[in-house]
Structure 1
């Protein structure tokens, strides 16, 4: 892969952690403007170089960075305002969509202690999430809002209320519109805790660990949907609005669509466990209506899954069977890697989608890097950085180097091969001097025609460390 060098041009700084970066054209306007959603619940837009508030729902967001049992450690959190999508006709109808973790919904969590599967102890391999009404961490909501003619946003309706077992793996940049179907796409992680203890991602009834299309044109006339975890708990009118594109998701930073001639390549990333971060691509797929999934479950048979996408988790982490890792003897620098879920790896071995590329948490190759967690995947169609035209760009939150602070995130790219085989990737070098400040790469965004790229950087991993965010444009 050809080496690429880019410049990071700061657009705005000293903001809270930026989770979503998107552009749209406001009603009555003609210029595309950059919108920035922060994890704590603010949405800003850039107007002639000035940052303006579009919406502030901080009081409606769960208290982030708290250290209750099973929640987070010292200010690290994966809840908050996680998704923002503008309707394709936003300029005319003012509709937009939010996904966030709701204030006042803190629960004790689904498990009382840290989970790690033990291949020698079957009890750890098939846990059940019981007493869900009381043993959960928080509630996420997906809402439809409208920008009224007076310029004030107002909530119109709630589309989904989801009970989540743990604080993490809720997805990020989790709402996007499909240019193919015109539907709202919700990408949701497996629920968290690591290793998907309840195997939610492969269970057809679990909403967790899926890529879901929502038909927002259909009105369910249900003002406040019930809080659920499974598709069969949803009222039939809501089931009717949903189709499932994919399962086997661990945690996911959104979905990106790239138009090539008259079809779209879809790119999705799966955040890894201990070994690898993975990017998948697919063109053809056949989503399954949720009503069909529910009917098949009632009859205790498998729905027709031809053309249904399976990313392979929890049996597979990218191109590898999911492993548990532990150190060898005291005087050895090696690790022992044991397949965590051998039977599941076998069951999903041929059903799963093969990755486009993977990068690893440890990589001895001089031109590569050790990754930590994938935070953004975006197709790029611009001509200003010719080497990147037609590629897919991705970000990792932090290089996993042993050199210590200050931390640096990493940008890289790959592209689809015409023979469909696994491809290599290349690091994108940047010129920006962050000085002694840490720089976690937390989000990646693009404009409407994918000719510009935006990078969100934060100075800390703690949401309780405020106003340490900068948004850059990636330029030649």
Structure 2
């Protein structure tokens, strides 16, 4: 692939952590506006006249950064405008509800002295202890971390947004892996798409992502044209716990996600390539692509579950987690004591890897946490994927651009990375190249946290934050990526 160099042109500075970047045309307006959603709960609209607050739901968001040194993966996570937003004013939000803080799914996990069998906050399985390989999330109504909600809002004629209805309420076991940039509309089906994570901790301890009944670790289509007004969705973790009327608006198109930072559609020869990122565990970050897929209506999934029958899943997309981390079987790495320079690698979930080895799709590209090859980098966490169809940066046209949070094991200050790859005609795994950026961040850290585009994907936008803590405020910058 060609070496690509770009400039970063600042658009707005000193905002909170910019988690979603979208554009749309406001009702009665004539131009596309840039919208920025921050993790703490603000949505800003940017135009020629500057920046203004479109919506502020900070009071609705769970208190962030109270543990873990200020790092948090909850908050306002998704924003999507209806394809007919110009005419109907409808838009959709995914966020973590204020007042929903729970103790977490692991009993006494904060204080191992309370319980000899207590588990660490970031769980790691031990293949020599079968008990750790087959955990179950029990007592879910009491043991959870928080509740996420997906809502429909409308922009009233007065210009004030107002909530219309709740589509889903999802109980989450841990604070992390809730998805990010989690809402978009499919140009193929016209339905709202929700991308979720596996529920968090580490290594998907309850194997939620491969369980067809679990909402966690899935890509879900929501038919927002169907009427669910008057129905207050219960707080659930599994599809069969939903009322039939809510089941009827849901379709599952993929499973096996660890943490999915959104989905991007690219039109090609009258069909759409779908790009999905999957954040890795310890070894590798992955970008997947697919064109054709077999959706499974939730009503059919629930029926099969209740009748104890298996559905035909040929054509159903499976990213392979937790048995597979990108191209690798999920692996545990331990130091070989007393020689810490040696390592022992063990399959974490051999049976899971075996079961999903044929069912899963191969990644389009992977990048690794350790990669000594020239022109590569050690990644930490994939934060966004975005198709680019513009001509302004010629070598990027028709590619998928992705961002990594911060280069692994690099000296401070921290620096995020831009990279890209393209579809191979033979469908095999492709390599990637770094996109070189001509911008001096000085002594400040620059965590790459989000990526967006305009409606026809001819302009790219990058969200950067100077801290990895959500409660270090007003340290965000939005750039346009330009030649």
TM superposition score normalised by structure 1: 0.98
Q: Which residue of 2 aligns with 1:70?
A: none
Inter-partner Cα distance in structure 2 for 1:206 and 1:250: 13
Deviations for 1:440-470, whole angstroms, at most 9, x for unmatched residues?
0000011100001000000001011000000
Pick from 106, 110, 129: which aligns with 2:101?
106
Inter-partner Cα distance in structure 2 for 1:277 and 1:219: 39
Q: Map 1:368-407; keep pairs closer than 5 Å.
A: 368-402=376-410, 404-407=411-414
1:430 correspondence with 2:425: no
Inter-partner Cα distance in structure 1 for 2:27 and 2:49: 19
Following superposition, the deviation at residue 332 of structure 1 comes to 4.3
Structure 2 unaligned segments of length 5 or more: list them: 110-118
Kindly indicate whether the alpha-carbon contact (under 8 Å) linking 2:165 and 2:229 is maintained by their aligned counterparts in 1: no
Q: Map 1:312-331; keep pairs closer than 5 Å.
A: 312-331=320-339
Give the SS at the match of 1:29: coil
Give the SS at the match of 2:302: helix
Q: Which residue of 2 aligns with 1:414?
A: 421
1:82 correspondence with 2:77: yes
Q: Which residue of 1 aligns with 2:177?
A: 169
Q: Which residue of 2 aligns with 1:466?
A: 473
Give the SS at the match of 1:10: strand
Give the SS at the match of 2:285: strand
Q: Map 1:197-276; keep pairs closer than 5 Å.
A: 197-276=205-284
Inter-partner Cα distance in structure 2 for 1:47 and 1:7: 21
Deviations for 1:326-350, whole angstroms, at most 9, x for unmatched residues?
1223444343221100011000000
Inter-partner Cα distance in structure 1 for 2:304 and 2:312: 9
Pick from 134, 150, 154: which aligns with 1:146?
154
Q: Which residue of 2 aligns with 1:36?
A: 36
Structure 1 unaligned segments of length 5 or more: list them: 68-72
Inter-partner Cα distance in structure 1 for 2:175 and 2:384: 20
Q: Map 1:347-366; keep pairs closer than 5 Å.
A: 347-366=355-374
Q: Which residue of 2 aligns with 1:333?
A: 341
Kindly indicate whether the alpha-carbon contact (under 8 Å) linking 1:11 and 1:49 is maintained by their aligned counterparts in 2: no
Following superposition, the deviation at residue 47 of structure 1 comes to 1.7
Q: Which contiguous aligned blocks of 4+ residues in structure 1 show a shift greater than 6 angstroms?
A: none
Kindly indicate whether the alpha-carbon contact (under 8 Å) linking 1:96 and 1:146 is maintained by their aligned counterparts in 2: yes
Inter-partner Cα distance in structure 2 for 1:222 and 1:171: 28
Deviations for 1:3-24, whole angstroms, at most 9, x for unmatched residues?
1000000000100000000000
Inter-partner Cα distance in structure 2 for 1:244 and 1:148: 32
Inter-partner Cα distance in structure 1 for 2:225 and 2:79: 18
Q: Which residue of 1 aligns with 2:463?
A: 456
Kindly indicate whether the alpha-carbon contact (under 8 Å) linking 1:62 and 1:106 is maintained by their aligned counterparts in 2: yes
Give the SS at the match of 1:35: strand
Inter-partner Cα distance in structure 1 for 2:385 and 2:326: 15
Following superposition, the deviation at residue 49 of structure 1 comes to 5.1
Q: Which residue of 2 aligns with 1:27?
A: 27
Deviations for 1:376-423, whole angstroms, at most 9, x for unmatched residues?
000000000000000000000000134x21000000000000000000
Kindly indicate whether the alpha-carbon contact (under 8 Å) linking 1:200 and 1:208 is maintained by their aligned counterparts in 2: yes
Q: Which residue of 1 aligns with 2:116?
A: none
Cα-Cα RMSD: 0.8
Kindly indicate whether the alpha-carbon contact (under 8 Å) linking 2:221 and 2:251 is maintained by their aligned counterparts in 1: yes
Inter-partner Cα distance in structure 1 for 2:456 and 2:447: 26
Kindly indicate whether the alpha-carbon contact (under 8 Å) linking 1:40 and 1:58 is maintained by their aligned counterparts in 2: yes
Following superposition, the deviation at residue 280 of structure 1 comes to 0.3
Q: Which residue of 1 aligns with 2:311?
A: 303
Kindly indicate whether the alpha-carbon contact (under 8 Å) linking 1:190 and 1:200 is maintained by their aligned counterparts in 2: yes
Kindly indicate whether the alpha-carbon contact (under 8 Å) linking 2:127 and 2:349 is maintained by their aligned counterparts in 1: yes
Give the SS at the match of 1:202: coil
Q: Compared with structure 1, are the counterparts of its residues 95 and 226 closer, same or farther at alpha carbon in structure 2 (3 Å cutoff)?
A: same
Inter-partner Cα distance in structure 2 for 1:471 and 1:38: 11
Q: Which residue of 1 aligns with 2:54?
A: 54
Deviations for 1:163-189, whole angstroms, at most 9, x for unmatched residues?
000000000000000000000000000
Count of residues in Structure 1 that have an aligned counterpart in Structure 2: 470
Inter-partner Cα distance in structure 1 for 2:357 and 2:373: 28
Deviations for 1:343-376, whole angstroms, at most 9, x for unmatched residues?
1100000000111000000101121000000000
Give the SS at the match of 2:299: helix
Inter-partner Cα distance in structure 2 for 1:2 and 1:302: 46
Give the SS at the match of 1:199: coil
Give the SS at the match of 2:303: helix
Deviations for 1:208-231, whole angstroms, at most 9, x for unmatched residues?
000000000001234421000000
Following superposition, the deviation at residue 2 of structure 1 comes to 1.1
Inter-partner Cα distance in structure 1 for 2:451 and 2:406: 14
